[in-house]
Amino acid sequence: MDLGILGKRALVCASSKGLGLGCAEALAEAGVDLVMNARTQATLDEAVDSIRSRFNVSVTGVAADITSEAGRMEVLDAAGQIDILVTNAGGPPPGLWSDWDRDDFIAALDANMLTPIALMKAVLPAMMDRGWGRVVNITSQSVKAPIPALGLSNAARTGLTGYVAGTARQVAPAGVTINNLLPGIHATDRAVSLDTGVSEGQGISMDEARAQREATIPARRYGTRQEFGAACAFLCSQHAGFIVGQNILLDGGATNATI
């Protein structure tokens, strides 16, 4: 399918690995020029080079912490005028509801709620002036159904979801859509780190931990970054202009809900 976004320009945050990289690759395949970001220069350079060598698009990498104000300024300066924004950052650490104090919540809110909100506030006015824009926020299945060990994520991402629900309806008249993609378990470094938590917590092997988590998914496997990226690129396409303020689960059926 021709996504109709050849020549558009996208900022994909936290995109040297995992789900962000999947989104960057799928947008590049659709002919979108990219600004990519991550904190670690070496892995970011590798990802930028790999995309440049496979797709005929321009790619700029900006090594910066997207959750800091200085990092965001650097990334937004390099990005300039963009048509597509994909927000992403690392997820908060797992733990128990009784573990976290105010500082832990502030850090999670900063990274997974206030950072995407700041990015949207920075780029939405110019998108609205031009009458076209796409924003996709990578959140989590924890927004639909809480994950007990990820209370910080449950809290911060639900706050972002409330903001998007209201804002998406206010910018849609100007041709700009905002939607959230909600990953279930995908085969990325983040999944390995959560498997490690299960393995260490229960004294079982990594293979057993993964098998245990795969058994909770009706599709009986983890998702791939390519599947995730394809969904993101579709939401950024010309065909998705009527999809506004939605929360789309990509979880292999793991969230047991009718709607």
Tell me which residues touch ligand NAP (CB under 6 A): 14-20, 37-40, 43, 65-67, 88-91, 138, 140, 183, 185-186, 188-191
Residues 6+ apart with CB under 8 A from 184: 141, 217, 223, 249, 250, 251, 252, 254, 255
Residue carrying the six token digits 């998108």: 127
Give the C-alpha separation, 140 to 151, whole Å: 12
Question: Based on CB atoms, which residue is closest to ligand NAP, 174 or 217?
Answer: 217
Of 85, 146, 89, 152, nearest to 121 (Cα)? 85
Question: Based on CB atoms, which residue is closest to ligand NAP, 165 or 187?
Answer: 187
Minimum CB–partner distance for residue 252 and ligand NAP (Å): 11
Minimum CB–partner distance for residue 109 and ligand NAP (Å): 13
Minimum CB–partner distance for residue 100 and ligand NAP (Å): 16
Question: Based on CB atoms, which residue is closest to ligand NAP, 63 or 171?
Answer: 63
The phi, psi pair for 62, rounded to 5°, reads -125, 110
Question: Based on CB atoms, which residue is closest to ligand NAP, 229 or 245?
Answer: 229
Minimum CB–partner distance for residue 167 and ligand NAP (Å): 20
Minimum CB–partner distance for residue 147 and ligand NAP (Å): 8
Give the C-alpha separation, 128 to 134, whole Å: 10
Cα atoms found within 13 Å of the Cα of residue 189, Cβ hemisphere only: 11
Question: Based on CB atoms, which residue is closest to ligand NAP, 183 or 245?
Answer: 183
